[in-house]
Structure 1
Amino acid sequence: MNNLLVAQSGGPTTAINATLVGVLKGARISDKVDKVFGAKNGIEGAINDNLIDLNELLKDTEALDTLTYTPSSALGSCRYKMKDWREDDEPYKKIIDTFIKHEIKYFIYIGGNDSMDTVNKLAEYCKMNNHDFYIMGAPKTVDNDLNLTDHSPGFGSAAKYIATTISEIERDISVYDIPAVTIVEIMGRNAGWLTAASALARVNGGPGPDLIYLCEKDFDNDKFIQDIKDKLAVKPGVLVTISEGIKYSDGSYVSDSISSGAVDNFGHKYIAGSAKALEQLVRNEIGCKVRAIELNLMQRAAAHIASETDIIESQMLGQKAFDCVVNGVTGKMAAIHRLGDNPYQVEFTAVDVSQVANHEKTVPTDWITPEGNDVTEEMMTYLRPLIMGEVNIKYENGIPKQLRLY
């Protein structure tokens, strides 16, 4: 039993397939793995024995190169929450049956916080029930909220897209001399890393956003309106970026006023709509022209403007996860440890996945200005290296070429 299974889960990113490619490249040159399978739609594929044979892909260098720059999850994704095996062990038994049937010894799960929870539970189940399988996590999330890794694959490319888009929006709104407010909503439920990245629109000398509000700080309507008025007093066009998860001091979300109240499979409330809520607030309180923009899905999988640093590191993390798991490491997650900023240097390591699952890394409050409406130079120092470099995207019929596995 020397076969490997790999799966992807959670929200799509620009770099998640680069991590998959890192795993596949590791397998291609290793004598410790015979065959590689992919599970369709994350852990559900392992539960339902819905696998894809990836061995032919290992031999095709051109296909691997195309897959590296293909956004989203080539193996499909899921939002499946594994219960504790002591409460319900039926899914675990089905996964073990799939492992045995296909002679799988190693399993790598690429994903975010909830995926690392699955890695932790499955590794524990195997250990406690004397199953000789090795379970390893590889990080992924544009939210950059995974614990014990300096940053997460997918974040750098999303940050690059956001910085570029905010810079372009600023150019658009700057041409008018009438008072106007543009509010851009950026992903981030409890962690404002992506919204903070909007400040990178300033790195080439442009003004970028005039005001930045992260979800780590309590939001105050009155202060927000005063901040807008202060900016309008010195310039006609005001650009604001906000985290979708901004909330008031009582814990309620700004978006609650227009939210349906629905929740996902993990009990997370759907919170999009903060910008729309604030658009109405500005219209009522100030009366000027105001527009709300929700970047939504576009920031997650914009491969045409991927960060080369992000893609390279994502591949390296896939290879690190592979090296660890085939050498008997289990219950760990591949991670990035930053060694320095000037020059930027990192090393790839493995951390205890139990210290990642169900933990959340938020923006340090001292990286947010005391006024709560911008970020500090420490944040900029952290962000700048992550968006560096451009990738060599191959185009076909005028649009980027992508690889689909099924």
Structure 2
Amino acid sequence: MSKGTLLYAQSGGVTAVINATASAVISTARAKGIKVLAARNGILGALREDLIDTSKETAAAIAALAHTPGGAFGSCRYKLKSLEADRGKYERLLEVLRAHDVCWFLYNGGNDSADTAWKVSQLAKAFDYDLTCIGVPKTIDNDLAVTDTCPGFGSAAKYTAVSVREAALDVAAMAETSTKVFVYEAMGRHAGWLAAAAGLAGQGADDAPHIILLPERAYDEAAFLAKVKQVVERVGYCVVVASEGIQTADGRFVADAGGGTDSFGHTQLGGVASQLAARVKDGLGYKVHWTLPDYLQRSARHLASKTDWEQAQAVGKAAVQFALKGQNAVMPVIVRTSDTPYRWKIEAAPLHKVANHEKKMPAGFIRRDGFGITDKARAYLAPLIKGEAPLPYGSDGLPKYVTLKNVAVKKKLPAFEA
């Protein structure tokens, strides 16, 4: 259709459906006669000129990406700073794009990735380089602005709700003589969407989860312990779901893994469940079990939401369509048009309205006592976990996933010096 190549890159923590987006990007571009290169390990691969020729993959392999979790081309946590602070890296990126005749750059990630795509679009314009940049949404945290939801979240939310419901049945069975309290830790640094999704596991006041701790509300240990005691005395046991990012009133994370900060400047979190479990045991004397699902939350393709899977492919297809139309510096976002029945569509949103804006749980989604979700939250969350996404299984009883060949293209530039 058109001369030039399209460069696709994955960024940040991967999801159960990010490869479904990649599959849609590549297949949509192929149908238009566009060659797609993929950066190995995200933006680092672009800077290093470590690019993968996806035309070496069969159509069957690209189709199989749609049901394969992880990041097929490798992702990375690597943030480019401002144009002023990292100008040399941005210019290097443009050199790589020029060297490989890249006309369209699609960056599949979250807030920071949207920001990078926006900055690259502005620099290309300054250098009079004809480049169309598209941010493609992805995150299990559901914290991207403008879009109603974000591909990756629905599947992680489904995994969370199902896991909490199943674990609660286990706890209920053992509560008389064993475990009284179970603490489940969900991902979510500043936004409690994933922990809130656990609320879908129960319907009534005595259904698990009995307590949800969200980062949007300050953690009060005395109030928490009192609530746990109250629930155990009423129900016989208590299931707690806690976001990893809960903080005290003075802004201190309850769980700080002590691992310093990553390239995005984020404190490494993890372990809030174990800390809460210890406080419950010491303060109330109950036997407690806890779990930290961690990567399981975002890699569980076997429990992916059909809604999420379809939306992940839709944003990938739309990203290519927007790019080929020359809609520069935009992101395909999901617009909800109806709750009942659930309906949605894809529209283009300016990248600068998405980049570095964080969408937190609305106050109206959080129960007045701060320990659960409201009916409004249920109406929003419920459609996102609906349906099962098809997954082929082998004779060994395990899912059949694909591993791409990922053949590198020949480099044309000097090695990248960080």
TM-score interval, smaller chain:
over 0.9
Separation of aligned partners in 2, 1:404 and 1:205: 45
Separation of aligned partners in 1, 2:118 and 2:150: 18
TM-score (norm 1): 0.95
Quick check: 370-379 or 263-272, which moved more? 263-272
Corresponding position of 1:23: 25
Separation of aligned partners in 1, 2:390 and 2:226: 45
Give the match's secondary structure for 2:173: coil
- TM-superposed deviation, 1:206: 9.0
TM alignment of 1:63-82, pairs within 5 A: 63-82=61-80
Q: Is the counterpart of residue 321 in structure 1 residue 323 in structure 2?
A: no
Separation of aligned partners in 2, 1:83 and 1:241: 35
User: Alignment RMSD, CA only?
Assistant: 1.5
Unaligned runs of 5+ in 2: 407-418
TM alignment of 1:6-405, pairs within 5 A: 6-31=8-33, 33=34, 35-57=35-57, 59-60=58-59, 62-176=60-174, 177-178=176-177, 180-202=180-202, 207-256=207-256, 259-260=257-258, 262-396=260-394, 397-405=396-404
8 Å CA contact 1:167–1:206 kept in 2: the answer is: no
Quick check: 222-231 or 197-206, which moved more? 197-206
The amino acid across from 2:316 in the alignment is G
Separation of aligned partners in 2, 1:4 and 1:382: 35
Q: Deviations over 1:57-104 (max 9, x none)?
A: 3x51x3233210100111100111112222332212221221122111
Separation of aligned partners in 2, 1:371 and 1:314: 35
Q: Deviations over 1:117-154 (max 9, x none)?
A: 11111111111221111110110000000001000000
Give the match's secondary structure for 1:242: strand
Give the match's secondary structure for 1:400: coil
The amino acid across from 1:241 in the alignment is V
Q: Deviations over 1:353-374 (max 9, x none)?
A: 1111111000001210110000
Does the C-alpha gap of structure 1 residues 76 and 206 become closer, same or farther in structure 2, counting only changes over 3 Å?
A: farther
8 Å CA contact 1:113–1:357 kept in 2: the answer is: yes
Q: Deviations over 1:33-72 (max 9, x none)?
A: 2x11111011111111101111133x51x32332101001
The amino acid across from 1:387 in the alignment is I
Give the match's secondary structure for 1:380: helix
Give the match's secondary structure for 2:83: coil
8 Å CA contact 2:208–2:238 kept in 1: the answer is: no
Unaligned runs of 5+ in 1: none
The amino acid across from 1:29 in the alignment is A
The amino acid across from 2:245 in the alignment is G
8 Å CA contact 1:200–1:208 kept in 2: the answer is: no
Q: Deviations over 1:223-274 (max 9, x none)?
A: 0010011111112221010101011110011114xx3251111111112111
Count how many residue pairs are aligned between Structure 1 and Structure 2.
400
Q: Deviations over 1:383-403 (max 9, x none)?
A: 111111112211122211111
Separation of aligned partners in 1, 2:390 and 2:168: 27
Q: Deviations over 1:8-38 (max 9, x none)?
A: 011010010111111112112214x2x1111
Does the C-alpha gap of structure 1 residues 358 and 174 become closer, same or farther in structure 2, counting only changes over 3 Å?
A: same
Does the C-alpha gap of structure 1 residues 180 and 206 become closer, same or farther in structure 2, counting only changes over 3 Å?
A: closer
Give the match's secondary structure for 1:182: strand
- TM-superposed deviation, 1:204: 11
Give the match's secondary structure for 1:316: helix
Give the match's secondary structure for 2:142: coil
The amino acid across from 1:37 in the alignment is L
The amino acid across from 1:295 in the alignment is P
Structure 1 runs of 4+ off > 4 angstroms? 203-206
Q: Percent identity?
A: 39
Does the C-alpha gap of structure 1 residues 277 and 199 become closer, same or farther in structure 2, counting only changes over 3 Å?
A: same
Does the C-alpha gap of structure 1 residues 17 and 205 become closer, same or farther in structure 2, counting only changes over 3 Å?
A: farther
Quick check: 201-210 or 217-226, which moved more? 201-210
8 Å CA contact 1:107–1:135 kept in 2: the answer is: yes
